[in-house]
């Protein structure tokens, strides 16, 4: 299972293992990662699973679908070029060691 690092807005890193095929959001919720709310349960309808992905990792992620791109306009902390919705990122072996940063708030 790939290890994924979640870094809180305060700079605290939590490393968890997420089974391949799960989304980053599912792994975060199942492991009690603070800072991911995921109000819609992964339906790409709430924007409360916002994460920031360093540019070096961007090309290893699945491409952003139009619905994700649209919903990123609704995040509590304004989107940046590094913004993604963690419910739209399925974990693969290529994401071993991925570090994502959490915004200050999700709502
Ligand atoms: S969990 Fe709602 S958009 Fe990701």
CA of 88 to the centre of ligand 1 (A): 8
pLDDT (0 to 100) of residue 23: 98
CA of 68 to the centre of ligand 1 (A): 9
pLDDT (0 to 100) of residue 6: 98
Residue closest to 77 by CA, chosen among 53, 50, 43, 45: 50
The answer to whether 86 touches 23, Cβ cutoff 8 Å, is: yes
Give the domain 3-101 fold.
Answer: Ubiquitin-like (UB roll) (3.10.20)
Q: How confident is the model at residue 99 (pLDDT cuts 50, 70, 90)?
A: very high
Ligand 1: which residues within 6 Å by Cβ?
A: 25, 38-40, 42-49, 85, 87
The answer to whether 4 touches 27, Cβ cutoff 8 Å, is: yes
Residue 96: Cβ-neighbour burial (10 angstroms; 0-12, 13-18, 19+)? middle
pLDDT (0 to 100) of residue 60: 93
Q: What is the pTM of this model?
A: 0.96
CA of 27 to the centre of ligand 1 (A): 13
Residue 75: Cβ-neighbour burial (10 angstroms; 0-12, 13-18, 19+)? buried
pLDDT (0 to 100) of residue 94: 96
pLDDT in tens, 16-37: 999 999 999 999 999 999 999 9
Q: How confident is the model at residue 105 (pLDDT cuts 50, 70, 90)?
A: very high
Domain boundaries, the chain: 3-101
Task: Name residues whose C-beta falls within 8 Å of residue 11's C-beta, 6 or more positions apart in sequence.
Answer: none
Tell which one of 42, 69, 73, 90 to mutate to probe ligand 1, the residue whose CB is within 8 A of the most ligand atoms. Answer: 42
Q: DSSP assignment, residue 54?
A: -
Q: How confident is the model at residue 71 (pLDDT cuts 50, 70, 90)?
A: very high
Query: Mean pLDDT across the stretch 44-59?
Result: 96
Q: Which atom of ligand 1 is nearest to the CA of 47?
A: 3
CA of 93 to the centre of ligand 1 (A): 22
């Amino acid at each position: 299972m790939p290890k994924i690092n979640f870094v809180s807005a305060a700079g605290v890193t939590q490393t968890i293992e997420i089974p391949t095929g799960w989304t980053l959001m599912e792994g975060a919720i199942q492991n009690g990662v603070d800072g991911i709310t995921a109000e819609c349960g992964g339906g790409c309808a709430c924007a409360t699973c916002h994460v920031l992905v360093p540019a070096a990792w961007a090309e290893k992620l699945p491409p952003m679908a139009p619905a994700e791109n649209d919903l990123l306009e609704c995040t509590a902390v304004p989107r940046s070029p590094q913004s993604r919705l963690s419910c739209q990122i399925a974990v693969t072996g290529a994401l071993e060691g991925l570090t994502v940063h959490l915004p200050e708030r999700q709502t």
